Amino acid sequence: MAEQGALSRWEIEALLKGIPAEEAVEPADSAQPSAPERSLTRVIKAYDFRRPDKFSKEQWATLQAMHEHFARMLGASFSSRLRTLVTIRLSSIDQGLYEEWQSQVPNPTVCYVLSLAPLSGNIVVELNLDIAAEVVDRLLGGTGTLLDRSRELGEVEVGLLRTFSRNISNALQEMWANVRPMEPTLQDLGQDASLIQVAAPTDVVLTAFFEVSVAGHMGAMSICVPYTVIEPIAPALSAQVWIASSHRQALTDEERHTMEHLIGRSRLDVSVRLGGVDLPARSIVGIAEGDTFILDARLGRPLEVLVGEHVRFLGLPGVVGNHVGVQVSEVVQEETFGFLGRKPMNLPSPPGTPVVTISPLIQPLTTSAGDAAGDA
C-alpha cells in the first residue's frame, strides 16, 4: 500500500510547478547569501557576411601609420609643385564595400586610376573638384580659383591633372616601399566615380579619407584599394616588417639630382633686417607720426640678410638705379648664427647711430651701382 500511495517523480514535479511563487517556503538557511543567478542570455554579435573582416588589429595599425606617412609626403610634394602651403591630414581609414565608397564621393570629381605593378588590379585616388580647380589654376600661374561644378573639365585641364598625377604616384611608391617595392602607373582619369569599375560593387575595399588645405582653401581626397589587389602582401602588413624596412638607404645620384631640381624651383623670401629696438607697451600705444626710433644698428655696419627666418648673409645698403639694393659683403656660417637665425642685436646706441623716422623715408646710403648690381 505504501508503494501504491507514493507519488512518482513526474507527479511531484507537476505539483511543484503549480505552487505560486509567493507561497514558496524559504529554506532554513535563507539568511546566508545565495549564489548569483546565472544569466541564460547570450551575447550575440552581428556579423555581416557581405563585408567580412580582412585585417587584424596589428595590420590596421600598420595601414594607419602608412597612410599618415603618405599624407605628410604628399603635402610636401604638393607644396613644392604649387609653390604654396599645402597640408594633408588623414581623416579616417576603414573597410567597406566598393559600392559604398562610390556613393560617398561627390559627383563630379577627379578619379585617378592607377596600377601597382607587380600587383594585379587597379586602385583609385579621388581628388575633390575644389582641390583640382586650385591645382589647375596654380599650375597655370594663378592664385587659385574655384571651378563651376556644373561643367566638366576641359582637355587642357585634364592634361594638366594627368601630369600632376606623378606627385601622387611618387608618394604612393614611397608609402608601399617599406612593404614591397611597387611602380604606380596612371591608367585612366575619370570624373564620375560611379563609372570607375576597379572592383565589383560588393567587393571588400580599403578606403582612406583625407582633409586637404591648399592656401587656406579646404577640400578632401580619398583612396580606394580593393582587397584583391593587396591580398598577396597582406601578411607583410605588420608593424615589425614595416619598421624594420623603413631605414633609408643613401640617396643615389639620380635621386639627389631630382631633389635638387625640385628644391631649386621653390621660391624663398629674402629680406634685410635694418635693425630693431625694444620698447615698453606704453610707448608703443602712444606712437604717432613724426616719432623717432634709435635702432640698435651701428653706422657703417653690415645689415643682416635673411632667407626665410635664417640669417645667411651680411650686406651693405645702397641704391641701384631707382631701387634700394643690398650688396652682399659676407656669407654667414651656420655655426655663427644657428639654423633659426638670431634676435635683433640689443647694442648700446653710441653717438653717430643712424636715426630713422616714420613719415618720410631717409635717402639710403649711396653705393656704386656697378659694385652692387651683381649682388643686389
Adjacent-strand bridge partners of 245: none
Domains and CATH numbers, the chain: 57-248 (3.40.1550.10), 270-372 (2.30.330.10)
Give me the pLDDT at residue 320, please: 85
The number of beta carbons lying within 10 Å of the beta carbon of residue 210 is 24
Structure confidence at residue 248 as a pLDDT band (50, 70, 90): low
Q: CB neighbours of 325 closer than 8 A, spacing ≥ 6? A: 317, 318, 319, 367, 372, 373, 376
Which helix (DSSP H) or strand (DSSP E) does residue 318 occupy?
strand 310-320
Residue 376 has pLDDT above 90, yes or no: no
Structure confidence at residue 112 as a pLDDT band (50, 70, 90): very high
Q: How many CA atoms lie within 13 A of 36 on its CB side?
A: 3
Report the SS3 class of residue 244. helix
Report the SS3 class of residue 179. coil
Adjacent-strand bridge partners of 222: 126, 209
Dump the DSSP string for 154-165. Answer: -HHHHHHHHHHH
Match 571651378 to its residue by C-alpha cell.
147
- The CA distance from 230 to 203, in Å, is 13
Residue 146 has pLDDT above 70, yes or no: no
Which helix (DSSP H) or strand (DSSP E) does residue 138 occupy?
helix 129-139
Residue 114 has pLDDT above 90, yes or no: yes
Q: What's the pTM value of the predicted model, to 2 decimals? A: 0.55
Give me the pLDDT at residue 111, please: 93
- The CA distance from 134 to 218, in Å, is 10
Amino acid residing at 208: A
Determine whether 215 is exposed, middle or buried from the number of CB atoms within 10 Å of its CB (0-12, 13-18, 19+).
Answer: middle
For the record, the C-alpha cell of 327 comes out as 650688396
- The CA distance from 115 to 122, in Å, is 4
Higher-pLDDT residue of 240, 212: 212
Residue 9 has pLDDT above 50, yes or no: yes
- The CA distance from 4 to 1, in Å, is 5
Could you give the angle at the alpha carbon of 121 between the alpha carbons of 115 and 126, nearest 5°?
55
